[in-house]
A and B are shown apart, each in its own frame.
Chain A
Amino acid sequence: DSGVTQTPKHLITATGQRVTLRCSPRSGDLSVYWYQQSLDQGLQFLIQYYNGEERAKGNILERFSAQQFPDLHSELNLSSLELGDSALYFCASSVHPEGETEAFFGQGTRLTVV
């Protein structure tokens, strides 16, 4: 158990809908990362938050947004969903914002858009 909790584990929704994925980082970790893993694109970095503030942005679509709350949990919002958004979405956390130490990954949320 990595200590990172992601909910829900599975999500099936229709095109055009909006979903929210939730992540609770490991106790004491201030940095949260979101990744998307799909068969054709591999593991893609989406966005990073550190202590409530956006720290780095990767290949995140404008239809996607995220935030980190004062209690350090994070949410990834995906809207106007398309079939191609079907993927595993991982949250990871680390102590430092600069990637100097290992990242701990949650078990992921498997999103299926039908």
Chain B
Amino acid sequence: SQQGEEDPQALSIQEGENATMNCSYKTSINNLQWYRQNSGRGLVHLILIRSNEREKHSGRLRVTLDTSKKSSSLLITASRAADTASYFCATDEEGGTASKLTFGTGTRLQVTL
């Protein structure tokens, strides 16, 4: 089963615009991570935000986390054609003796010139 649900499922923007993707999850977490996947390729880690953090930046990426609403957002500023990919949130659930990342359904981002 999917822990996270990304919204929107697909997003099409022009180069230079900002892209915002949202993720909702169901259980308490230790951390939330965002990954990017180019078509048919492996996933690449973008950023990790811990449950006690509210906002984190990495280059053109800004991630927020609201544990009270069980939601996170990923903002990509000044998008480029190379940002075209699918973006997934992944949660590391709290309380397990062993954990695994549970991935959401993904947002497909298309950045056009």
Looking across the interface, which residue of chain B has its beta carbon closest to that of A42? B105
Across-interface contacts of A25 in B (CB, < 8 A): none
Across-interface contacts of A92 in B (CB, < 8 A): 43, 101
Question: Which residues of chain B from 41 to 89 have any CB-CB distance to chain A below 8 Å in the complex?
Answer: 41-45, 48, 88
Q: Given A43-B88, A48-B100, do A90 and B106 touch, yes or no (CB 8 Å)?
A: no
CA distance A59 to B45 in the complex (A): 23
B42, B45, B48 — which one has the most chain A CB atoms within 10 A of its CB? B42
Across-interface contacts of A55 in B (CB, < 8 A): 98
Contact for A100 among B1, B31, B40, B45, CB less than 8 A:
B31
Residue A62 at the chain B interface, CB threshold 8 Å: no
Report the count of interface residues on B (CB-CB < 8 A): 25
Across-interface contacts of B40 in A (CB, < 8 A): 88, 108, 110
Across-interface contacts of A59 in B (CB, < 8 A): 1
Residue B12 at the chain A interface, CB threshold 8 Å: no
Contact for B98 among A48, A100, A104, A110, CB less than 8 A:
A48
Report the count of interface residues on A (CB-CB < 8 A): 29
Question: Which residues of chain A from 1 to 23 have any CB-CB distance to chain B below 8 Å in the complex?
Answer: 2, 4
How far does the Cβ of A68 sit from chain B's closest Cβ, in whole Å? 14
- List the interface of chain B (C-beta within 8 A of A): 1-2, 30-31, 33, 35, 40-45, 48, 88, 92, 96, 98-106
Q: What are 14 A-B contacts defined by CB distance under 8 Å?
A: A33-B100, A33-B101, A45-B101, A50-B98, A56-B96, A56-B98, A59-B1, A88-B40, A98-B99, A99-B101, A104-B45, A105-B43, A107-B42, A108-B41
- List the interface of chain A (C-beta within 8 A of B): 2, 4, 33, 35, 42-43, 45, 48, 50, 55-56, 58-59, 88, 90, 92, 97-108, 110
